[in-house]
Amino acid sequence: MDNTEKKHQRRIRYKGTHPKSFDARYKEHQPDKYGETIKKVIQKGNTPAGMHRPICVNEILDFLQIKPSQIGLDATLGYGGHTVEILNKIDSKGHLYAIDRDPIESKRTKQRLLDLGYSENVLSIKNINFSDVDILALDSGLFDFVLADLGVSSMQIDNPERGFSFKNEGPLDLRMNPNIGIPASDRLRELSKNEIIGMLIENSDEPYAEKIAEAIILEYTQGNMINSTTDLYETIQKALSFLPKDIKDDVIKKSSQRTFQALRIDVNHEFEALYEFLEKLPQVLNSGGRVAILSFHSGEDRLVKKSFQFYFRQGIYKEISDGPIRPSMEEQSSNSRSRSAKLRWAIKA
Ligand SMILES: C[S@@+](CC[C@H](N)C(=O)[O-])C[C@H]1O[C@@H](n2cnc3c(N)ncnc32)[C@H](O)[C@@H]1O
């Protein structure tokens, strides 16, 4: 017998009942084949790997009041969860434009939606930033409704290669479009201590901004690089090592979430993009056109609120939501990622 004969290679097993890494959760990457697994993950209040669960769907549809022949814009396609709900409301006379700045995920979503039977007659998907909504409108004409579901998708957060989360080891990148700009690791190295403090406070109200900034600068002065998500996480752990034992783990987790969020906002120029989008919205909406925006942190919500109020006072919007609409308690408990969501709306005069 040939001793060099290759041993039979077993497929990597689903490790335990709760595989943690993104790749090992292979059943969740194949929803068509493993529907039961997907159902179980969702029942537990989690999001299956490689998927995104749309938030406040009923609240958004109730407000948008979509008519079959309308022309609309989903400004943040993501996994296409809201897109599908909207498409089910319009017919062959209507059309939905769906855009996303992420070329990786929007390509996958485009294919998925095509496979579901949504052809280019009813749906146009484009890989653009919503700050260019005015350029899009030159092609599409004015919109009867617009939806924006801000921030990042679960697919982006969960994929270690994108570097969005301190929970997974990966390159510290954090760009929604990796073809544009510089990765977060390069950006961080450019900043002074005071600039890091400013970024952490302005973008995510980080209470330990100074300690974290000092620890980051110390790493660089000692010749250490912060190139991976783990490098940054460990730097934050060092920065907060002085905290009492009983609160340390919890504070480190929250500060890490806020630090990654602040860096993501900076690297993707998120506030600038949102500001431009909000400023251009009135000129791309039809009279009576409706816009709904879902935001996930106070900085975003503040910008949306201020813009809606500003144009309302000018008579450009005839009605705006009184305050933010929150996901139902049921949704908050069934989808932990919905908990920070705030929905605001406006109607063009
Ligand atoms: C919360 S997810 C949207 C999820 C989507 N509503 C769904 O149901 O699957 C946010 C998406 O917006 C995209 N995005 C964020 N900022 C953007 C911008 N300025 N222009 C276009 N897309 C943006 C992100 O790449 C991400 O895919």
Query: Are 226 and 244 in a shared domain?
Result: yes
Per-residue pLDDT band at 347 (split at 50, 70, 90): very high
Given pLDDT bands bounded at 50, 70 and 90, which one contains residue 52?
A: confident
Q: Specify if 117 maps to a domain.
A: yes
Q: Which of 267, 283, 312 is the last residue of a domain?
A: 267
| pLDDT score, position 348 | 98
For residues 233-258, average pLDDT: 98
- Give me the residue label for tokens 């991976």: 228
Q: Is the CB of 50 under 6 A from ligand 1?
A: no
The verdict on 68 and 88 lying in the same domain is: yes
Say whether both 114 and 260 belong to one domain.
no
| pLDDT (mean) for 116-141 | 97
- What spacing in Å lies between the alpha carbon of 77 and ligand 1's midpoint? 6
Same domain assignment for residues 186 and 256? yes
Q: What is the mean pLDDT of the chain?
A: 91
CA of 69 to the centre of ligand 1 (A): 25
For residue 69, tell me if it sits in a domain: yes
* Domain co-membership, 336 together with 318: yes
Q: Do 286 and 259 sit in the same domain of this protein?
A: no
Q: What pLDDT, on the 0 to 100 scale, is given for residue 42? A: 65
Give a yes or no: residue 204 inside a domain.
Answer: yes
d(CA 76, CA 147): 8
Residue 1 counted as domain residue: no
pLDDT number for residue 16: 43
Q: What is the pLDDT of residues 73-117, one digit of tens each?
A: 999 999 999 999 999 999 888 999 999 999 999 999 999 999 999
Question: Does residue 300 have its Cβ closer than 6 Å to ligand 1?
Answer: no
pLDDT for 8: 55
Q: Whose CA is nearest to atom 24 of ligand 1?
A: 152
Q: Give the CA dihedral 203, 209, 214, 217, nearest 10 degrees.
A: -10
Q: Which residues pair with 317 in a beta bridge?
A: 348
Please indicate, yes or no, whether residues 258 and 306 belong to a single structural domain of this protein: no
Examine the domain organization and report whether 292 and 145 are in the same domain.
Answer: yes
Task: Give residue for tokens 């500001």.
Answer: 275
Last residue of a domain, one of 267, 302, 320: 267
Residues 244, 302 within the same domain: no
CATH of the domain at 311: 3.40.50.150
- Does some domain include residue 338? yes
Same domain, 202 and 279: no
Average pLDDT over residues 17-44: 63
> What CATH number corresponds to the domain at position 249?
1.10.150
Residues 200 and 343 occupy one common structural domain: no
| pLDDT greater than 80 at residue 259 | yes
* Residue 232 belongs to some domain of the structure: yes
Ligand 1 in reach of 130 Cβ (< 6 A): yes
Tell me which of 238, 267, 296 is where a domain ends: 267
Whether 159 is covered by a domain: the verdict is: no
Distance between Cα 196 and ligand 1 center (Å): 26
How far apart are the C-alpha atoms of 173 and 195, rounded to whole Å?
19
Same domain, 61 and 140: yes
pLDDT over 70, % of the chain: 87
Cβ of 82 less than 6 Å from ligand 1: yes
Domain of residue 126, residue span = 57-154+271-348
Report if residue 36 sits inside a domain.
no
- Please state the domain count of the chain: 2
Three-state SS string across the chain, please? CCCCCCCCCCCCCCCCCCCCCCCCCCCCCCCCCCHHHHHHHHHCCCCCCCCCCCCCHHHHHHHHCCCCCCEEEECCCCCCHHHHHHHCCCCCCCEEEEECCCHHHHHHHHHHHHHCCCCCCCEEEECCCHHHHHHHHHHHCCEEEEEEECCCCHHHHHCHHHCCCCCCCCECCCCCCCCCCCCHHHHHHHCCHHHHHHHHHHHHCCCCHHHHHHHHHHHHHCCCCCCEHHHHHHHHHHHCCCCCHHHHHHHHHHHHHHHHHHHHHHHCCHHHHHHHHHHHHHHHEEEEEEEEEEECCHHHHHHHHHHHHHHHHCCCEEEECCCCECCCHHHHHHCHHHCCCEEEEEEEC
Position in ligand 1 atom list of the atom nearest CA 130: 20
